[in-house]
Chain A
Amino acid sequence: MPSVRLIGLRKAFGGIKAADGLDLEVRNGEYLCLLGPTGAGKTTALRMIAGLVSPDEGKVLFNGEDVTNTPVEERKAALLPQTYSLFPQLTVEENITFGLDIRGADDRLKEQVLISMLDLVRLSGRSTAFPRELSGGMQQRTALARALASGADMLLLDEPLRALDARLRISLRTELRSLVKSLRMTTIHVTHDQDEALVMADRVAIIREGRIIQVGTPKEVWDRPATPFVANFLGQSNFFIGEVLQSSPCTLLRTPDGTVLKGRSSDLIPGTQAVMGVKIGSTELSKERPGYLQAKVERILFEGRNLHMDMMTGGGQRLSAKLPSWKKGRITVGDTVGIYWEEEKGTVFSMPANGLESELKVE
């Protein structure tokens, strides 16, 4: 199973830069999720790996070998598009053996692969059905079997769960991952759904405006976001701007109105402007404890498992928090609450060059 390296890929469509110096390394046998907002260049990156789009600049390496100009069909990287693209005129069986037929495999081999694939994706009873006769989940499994049977050693999944309904989508996450992992395929899975990426990936790569901004395990990208954008895109954060007072053993940030906030240690130089981000789920509220700062509760939304609180500080800043639902009733609209967090939960970033607002924008 190959490793993949993308080096400085650039691709523009008209004036739009879909890849703008894209670097990424995917390890052998790894399940990597490429996560980013709509229009970030996820699909273009995937298509460049597949060979369906050729980059304007940069290289694609498989196992260290340059494949930038290798035709699609010789890359052994099977694509599973959003809508699966099962060939409508072929049965499940014919779809699955498509790749083998193309290569002129003999009937014995085809039979063997077919039986094992049908078994693997639990479609043995439906081998003579046509794609339109299958449910969404079955279609997805057929497409997966087709890709696996083609002899590809890399899987490129383009939002593979998007076309399914919500409940099935969630149950198929683990199923899809364990199937692919059991075959030790190198897999690149494109998605805009952060929960999906966190649950499924060995590592998550966050892409924005045609560039990879952070790669790490789900826990790393969640707990230690590299930029304010990542902090906000994964799980939404409250942000505070201020001056760095010290950066170790914990970072202290003084906001313009004089409040001092605590965050994890950093390597920022005292005296510079910085941004602190705290996930709204890590923001704790208390009527008794004064916390770092006070805010008035303006709205409470009941979300089932969680309560979502919107608050306004005396200085006019809007903040949000998520609390478990069992805390319902302890805080009501109009209450003034103290806001605090554990210092490990506050991440301090240097001030983004274009300002905080444009940094956080999701286009």
Chain B
Amino acid sequence: MVAAISRKRFLTGWTAFIILFFLFFVILPTIYILSYAFTEWGSIEALLEDQGRMDLIWGAIGASFQIAGIVTVIDIVTGLPMAWMLVRKDFRGKNLLDTLIDMPLAVPTAALGFSSAMFFAITDESLQAPSFALGTIGSPYLLIILLHVVFSYPYMVRSLSAILVQIDQTYETAGRTLGASPLTAARTITLPLFRAGLVTGIILCFARSLSETGGTMIALATMANARGFATGPTLIGEWKDALDSQPDLAAPLAFVSILLILLSLALLVVIKLVVMRVHLPMGRIWPRPERLLSRGVFPKVKDGLAVLFLVVFVLVPSFFIFTYVGSVEPTAFDWAPFIRSLLYSFLIAGVVTGIDIALGVPLALYIAKNRSGRLAGALDVLVNVPLIVPTAALGYSLGVFWASQEIVPTHDVLLIVLAHVAFTYPLVVRNVAGAVEEVDPAYEETARTLGARPVQAFRRVLYPMVKSSILAGAIMAFTRSLGETGATQAVVANAQTAPVYIVDLINLETAAGYYSAGLACIMLIVISFLFMLALRYVTNRRAR
């Protein structure tokens, strides 16, 4: 009896600790910068007067949102036929295609930025880009759109096909037997059932594009004459870098971060409302043209174009860097600093993943098991916040938060770890909470009636069932931390993680610098690729 009560108290205390950790170490630092608007309103007012800076800020923020919007539309238009093909059609090489789609996910965005820019853009002479590179894009705006499509496309295809698999094909079959052509049936019956997948895809793509820093910075640095163009996150990176010499940048930095956070959160709400509520005029039918488009050469052309797009605009730019390193004159590469930065990155990613698991799994359990409760519901919504907020803004906000109080010493490594925990923690929570919800609570309850204490019931019964999701979440967190540039730079300007090191190499604008960056990128790709394989292995095993 006494033991039972004390155990209950311990459990309550532990749950409270986990929730407090989440609120004070993840959510609060993420949005802390918003308070700047209240405490330092004077300096923001002064900034609003500063026409030159305001133009720069609005230009960058505007570019960020425009690019994210355009990228998302391109992803939907090109991703939908691809998702359809992967789910609904059977053809030779389907498995290969399926694997190819995921390949860009294995490339850290820093490497992706370098590789894509080299392929698409007009580059600096000293880079010596291979002669067969496209090398025609002169507009930084266009280049960044192309780059963001490269890394967000797989997310869109994956979210769309995940939902498509779940939609019962008998609806469409029924429509077909009632006389609808394949296109009409797909458009009027399946697509409207699709909204949930579309929302996930749109939010993922938008958030990724809005948040992307490292790849964008590298692409801009690689391109000749891209000076003056900035997106919100790159502006934060630049200014944070210069903050030590120009302390008056504090207000603009805070302002850009606030704008990015508020706008991205507002956008999350708007996308959810618009896509779920607005009734698209899907009901209209044009039998003749749709029948025509369903037959003969049209479907083949559509599929062919989808594959062509994948190859030219996604795969080739992702891996173009291999041809560069192969074709250019080798120069001496100083491995030592790169290896050091790589180890530094690994150390951070490892610690971050450890924290994510130790403190994320309990939160996921709490959310999944108290889904109907108000607190758990609120936590479930809050978990999305660090995912949608651009990591550069998150990093800056977090840096300011920890500098403003004296609980945690503001040591570089510690700050970077805390920043990375903030945006990777939700990945683990999401993955695990989703998996736990799938498990029938009767398993654990039965175990309890057979004499298992709550901890034993978790370890013996639930844990084996969700083990692979925990691992999958951990690998995602690890690779995200390993490839992150924006948050790292925003929290500690001169941190020497591997992606930041690559940015610095490219900024040298010398042949040796480019070559070294290329080699470093390839190493990073290979390492990430191994992790990706591990992830696929783990998730496939779960599917069985």
Contacts and interface: CB of A to CB of B under 8 A. Distances in A.
Contacts of A147: 449-450
Given A70-B1, A71-B4, A152 B446 contact: no
A73 B448 contact: yes
Nearest to B445: A52
A156 B442 contact: no
A87 to B, nearest CB: 6
Contact of B449 (A69, A88, A89, A152): A152
Contact of B450 (A70, A83, A89, A98): A98
A69 B1 CA distance: 8
Nearest to A49: B449
Interface string B438-451: 00101101111111
Q: Identify which of B4, B443, B446, B448 gathers the most chain A CB atoms within 10 Å of its CB.
A: B446
Contacts, number: 77
A79 B464 contact: no
A264 interface: no
A349 to B, nearest CB: 39
B302 interface: no
B359 interface: no
A50 B445 CA distance: 9
B461 interface: yes
A85 B442 contact: yes
A98 B451 CA distance: 9
Interface string B10-49: 0000000000000000000000000000000000000000
Interface string B443-463: 101111111110010001100
A75 interface: yes
B4 A69 contact: yes
A52 B450 CA distance: 12
Contacts of A41: none
A321 interface: no
Nearest to B453: A73
A52 B446 CA distance: 10
A327 interface: no
Contacts of B56: none
A73 B453 CA distance: 6
Contacts of A87: 443, 447, 460-461
A78 B465 contact: no
Contacts of B440: 83, 85
A79 B445 contact: yes
A77 B1 contact: no
A81 B450 contact: no
Contacts of B453: 71, 73, 102
A83 B448 contact: no
Interface residues of A, number: 33
Nearest to B457: A73
A98 B447 CA distance: 8
Contact of B451 (A69, A89, A103, A156): A103
Contact of B452 (A50, A73, A83, A89): A73
Contact of A52 (B7, B449, B461): B449
A50 B449 CA distance: 7
Contacts of A83: 440, 442
Q: Identify which of A70, A72, A82, A152 gathers the most chain B CB atoms within 10 Å of its CB.
A: A72
Given A79-B446, A89-B464, A150 B451 contact: yes
A78 B1 contact: no
Nearest to A146: B450
A101 B450 CA distance: 10
Contacts of A71: 4, 7, 453
B443 A85 contact: yes
Interface in A137-161: 146-147, 150-152, 156
A99 B4 CA distance: 20
A17 B442 CA distance: 22
A173 interface: no
A184 interface: no
Interface string A62-80: 0000000111111111111
Interface of A is mostly: loop
Contacts of A146: 450
A82 B445 CA distance: 12
A264 B453 CA distance: 54
A156 B449 contact: yes
B451 A81 contact: no
Interface of B is mostly: helix
B451 A102 contact: yes
Contacts of A75: 449
Nearest to B462: A87
A101 B445 CA distance: 17
Interface in B39-93: none
Contacts of B465: 88-89
Given A71-B4, A102-B460, A151 B442 contact: no
Contacts of B450: 73, 78, 98-99, 102, 146-147, 150, 152
Contacts of B7: 71
Nearest to A53: B445
A156 B448 CA distance: 13
A69 B442 CA distance: 21
Contacts of B449: 50-52, 72-73, 75, 77-79, 147, 152, 156
Q: Identify which of A71, A80, A99 gathers the most chain B CB atoms within 10 Å of its CB.
A: A71
A79 to B, nearest CB: 4
Interface string B477-496: 00000000000000000000
Contacts of B460: 87, 98, 101-102
A102 B448 contact: no
A85 to B, nearest CB: 4
A97 to B, nearest CB: 10
A69 B4 CA distance: 8
A153 B464 CA distance: 28
Contacts of A72: 445, 448-449
Given A83-B440, A85-B443, A89-B465, A52 B448 contact: yes
A156 B453 CA distance: 19
A20 B229 CA distance: 70
Contacts of A69: 1, 4
Nearest to B4: A71
Given A71-B4, A83-B440, A85-B440, A102 B446 contact: no
Q: Identify which of B443, B449, B452, B453 gathers the most chain A CB atoms within 10 Å of its CB.
A: B449
Contacts of A85: 440, 442-443, 445-446
B468 to A, nearest CB: 11
A67 B456 CA distance: 22
A76 B445 contact: no
Contacts of B451: 73, 76, 99, 102-103, 150-152
A70 B4 contact: yes
A32 B398 CA distance: 62
Interface in B180-217: none
A102 B452 contact: yes
Contacts of B448: 51-52, 72-73
Nearest to A88: B465
A82 B460 CA distance: 21
A255 B8 CA distance: 62
Contacts of A51: 448-449
Contacts of A152: 449-451
Contacts of B442: 81-83, 85
Nearest to A83: B442
Interface in B424-450: 440, 442-443, 445-450
Contacts of A77: 449
13 contacts: A51-B448, A52-B445, A71-B453, A73-B452, A77-B449, A79-B445, A79-B446, A82-B442, A85-B440, A85-B445, A98-B452, A146-B450, A147-B450
Ranked nearest first, the 3 interchain pairs of A and B with the lowest CB-CB distance are: A79-B449, A72-B448, A150-B450
Given A81-B446, A102-B450, A150-B450, 15 more contacts: A50-B445, A50-B449, A52-B448, A69-B4, A71-B4, A72-B445, A73-B448, A73-B453, A83-B442, A85-B445, A85-B446, A87-B460, A89-B465, A98-B452, A151-B451
